[in-house]
Chain A
Amino acid sequence: MSTPTEADTDRTTVGALLTNLSLSPRHYVALLVVLGLASAPLWLGTLTLLQMMSAFYFIMFVISWDFVSGYTDQVSFGHTFFFAIGGYTSVILNLELGLPPLVGIVVAIVLTSIAGVLYAIPALRIGGHYLALFTLMPPLILGQLFIMFSDIFGGTRGLPTPDPLLQVGDFATTALANYFLALGILLLIFAISFVITRSDTGKIFKAIREDKYVVSASGLNPAKFKIFAMVVSAALAGFAGAMFAHSPVGSATPGQLLELTIIIDILLASILGGVGTIVGPAVGGFIFWWARQLSDNIEWIVPGLDVPFTRINLIVFYVLTLLIMLFIPRGIFPVLLDFGRSIWARITGESSDSSLDG
């Protein structure tokens, strides 16, 4: 960092990032994926489109989680807290006060950002196991509150369906419009997370994870960056949660926004995809969501037990992920990425670069 030239190559400004985009094969892959998703309505039926939307919202949840948990040293087991605050705020405002969903969503983002501050400040004081326990608590408390005041929050069954955010013509057209809306928000959330984590700020996040004392020693306040990371993550989570609750595939119910299984799915998807890369968890989220969805449709009677596979698919699923966690802790995506890089290096004759910043 001593000479200006070194500093220039070391820093990744947004502009440099954009010029870099045309350099590597992985960026062409990314472009192809976006084009593929945008043209998906041409070759997918309405029902599959709706499923794709659910997958998109799940990926947004995963990205918002990875933004703080994969980068700073604060692994959050309680991100469902933000999804639920986002979704419930906007739906309650719509149902009780008749506010349009758009207003509700803006209020939801503001409220989740405040919740992010309230969550981040106590979390600064604690670390390790205490932090893990602390982050587990807010969703549990919120769940208790929902049950206690079930006249407002609908208890375990959740809230009734609010006004849709986007409704055009018949069912199929509405689904199509909502598909593009979901894709657009996904790309927006992805872009925000990607740009911030690849900027200097992202480097500081990672440095905090490695050694926060070194960050302090270089004159930067880790607390400030940790709160910033948590608040941005919370706002993204609340935004996704509120949009999801108004979409045709989502609703403000504990089962869709708050339960323990949701955070488990997010953790698993991120870990399978490679934590702390944004791209990895996004891909992991997509594969994970579809794997789960498809396993629900397997019409196969397990021999010996005489039960349909769909009854035990969750157990099989958890056991499989348990095995992957135990034996491929790095995640599938990073392993595949390294494999792909080594093949690419062999083809082009260059040395492979094993940085995960993809």
Chain B
Amino acid sequence: MSFIETTIVIALLISALYALLSVGFTMIFGVGGVLNVAHAAFLTLGAYLMLYGIQLFGLGPWTATLFSLALVGLFSVLVYAGPVKLIEDDPIIVVIVTLLIFLIVEEFIFVIEGTSPKSLPVLVAGRVTISSTTIQSNQVFMFFLSWLTIIALLVFVNRTTLGKAIQAVSMTKRGATLVGINQFRISTTTWLIAGVLAGLGGIFLGTFQTAVYNMGLGPLIIAFSVVILGGLGSIKGSIIAAHIIGFLETLTTSLVSPRLTGLAPLLLLVIVLVVKPNGLFGREELE
């Protein structure tokens, strides 16, 4: 009994983090048709900028988090308005350019920090016990904050004018332009949100494990899997897919072998791509 409970608690925690890591990636794809590999750079920057906020400016963990999120959001907007804007019509070049940006950021952090992992301070100290499973309070906090962010995002996208404009652009660019929606503004907003969410995901990942220069690749693969399973561009699909993958991974780790961590989602992904390429909730990709 306690085994099942433990598995469920851990799987829920991991799934919430995965959802947070992937939602921004989904939104950018939905709105601009851009596969943003630089997403991984946002995560890494999120974790390291929080660390620098504390080390260089003497900020507390909370203010350092806000500091980091603001800078990552700005960086994300700059990545869009600078390089990506120039080439966003060519999907292949977009992948290469964002991949280059990812590698530049990764290499930059590697040059400054080397290969040694850094630990980030926790936002909430202590431990709690949830039905015989003891976990860090920080993880519980992370869980709630992830959900809060995701719900806030859903409310924003479905209830506000700006959010509805974002949805409109992701449904049809031409139609959105016809009714007078400024696409540049919508894209910038989306990249800002995606950057902040990815930065937060990076900070959580950094406190959960550690911050290393190459910490971005693993979560990027998770984001790929989540987004393909959920359907490119579907926020709801991403949240559900994050849970499928989170549970699948926890189950394979605890039931089969810890060696298989990370493999199950990848295999699932290949199967989905072959059997149902548009994912669970994705739309047909229009030319």
Contact = CB atoms under 8 A, between A and B. Distances in A.
Given A132-B91, A141-B263, A325 B35 contact: no
Interface stretch (A37-45, A93-101, A181-189, A307-315): A307-315
Interface string A297-330: 0000000000100011011001101100110010
B204 interface: no
Contacts of A321: 100
Contacts of A148: 259-260, 263
B103 A129 contact: no
Given A311-B111, A322-B104, A125 B274 contact: yes
Give the dominant DSSP class at A's interface.
helix
Interface string B253-287: 00000011011001101100110011000000100
A144 B100 contact: no
Given A128-B91, A129-B232, A129-B285, A137 B266 contact: yes
A77 B99 CA distance: 11
A321 B35 CA distance: 19
B101 interface: yes
Interface size class, chain A: 35 or more
A260 B232 contact: no
A107 interface: no
A315 B100 CA distance: 10
Given A130-B273, A132-B91, A322-B83, A137 B111 contact: no
A130 B33 CA distance: 11
A315 B263 contact: no
A356 interface: no
Interface string B22-39: 000000010001010000
Contacts of A127: 285
A122 B97 contact: no
A329 B87 contact: yes
Given A141-B267, A148-B259, A133 B107 contact: no
A50 interface: no
Contacts of A311: 111
Interface in A60-103: 75, 77
Contacts of A129: 29, 33, 35, 91, 232, 285
Given A122-B273, A271-B96, A130 B262 contact: no
A110 interface: no
A80 to B, nearest CB: 13
Given A127-B285, A130-B228, A136-B224, A325 B217 contact: no
A137 B263 contact: no
Given A130-B232, A134-B273, A144-B262, A261 B95 contact: no
B4 interface: no
Contacts of B274: 122, 125
B108 interface: yes
B93 interface: yes
Contacts of B103: 260-261, 264, 318
Give the dominant DSSP class at B's interface.
helix
A149 B274 CA distance: 26
B86 interface: yes
A278 B263 CA distance: 35
A122 B272 CA distance: 10
A149 B260 CA distance: 10
A322 B101 contact: yes
A236 interface: no
A141 B2 CA distance: 33
B266 A318 contact: no
Contacts of B135: none
A318 B35 contact: no
Contact of B266 (A140, A307, A312, A322): A140
Contacts of B97: 322, 325-326
A319 B100 CA distance: 8
Contacts of A134: 270, 273
Nearest to B82: A326
B125 interface: no
A319 B86 CA distance: 16
A264 B107 CA distance: 14
A52 interface: no
A261 B278 CA distance: 28
> Which has the most chain B C-beta neighbours within 10 Å: A75, A315, A321?
A315
Contacts of A137: 224, 266, 269-270, 273
B221 interface: yes
B152 interface: no
Nearest to B263: A144
B171 interface: no
Nearest to B84: A326
A271 B95 CA distance: 13
B92 interface: yes
Contacts of A261: 103
Contacts of B262: 144
Contacts of A268: 96
Nearest to A150: B259
11 contacts: A75-B92, A129-B91, A132-B92, A133-B35, A133-B228, A137-B273, A271-B96, A315-B104, A322-B83, A326-B83, A329-B93
Given A133-B228, A322-B104, 20 more contacts: A75-B92, A125-B274, A126-B277, A127-B285, A129-B91, A132-B35, A132-B92, A136-B224, A137-B266, A137-B270, A140-B266, A141-B267, A260-B103, A260-B217, A264-B96, A264-B103, A315-B107, A318-B100, A322-B83, A322-B100
Interface of A: 75, 77, 122, 125-130, 132-134, 136-138, 140-141, 144-145, 148-149, 260-261, 264, 267-268, 271, 307, 311-312, 314-315, 318-319, 321-322, 325-326, 329
Nearest first, the 5 A-B pairs at minimum CB distance are A122-B274, A126-B277, A141-B266, A148-B259, A322-B100
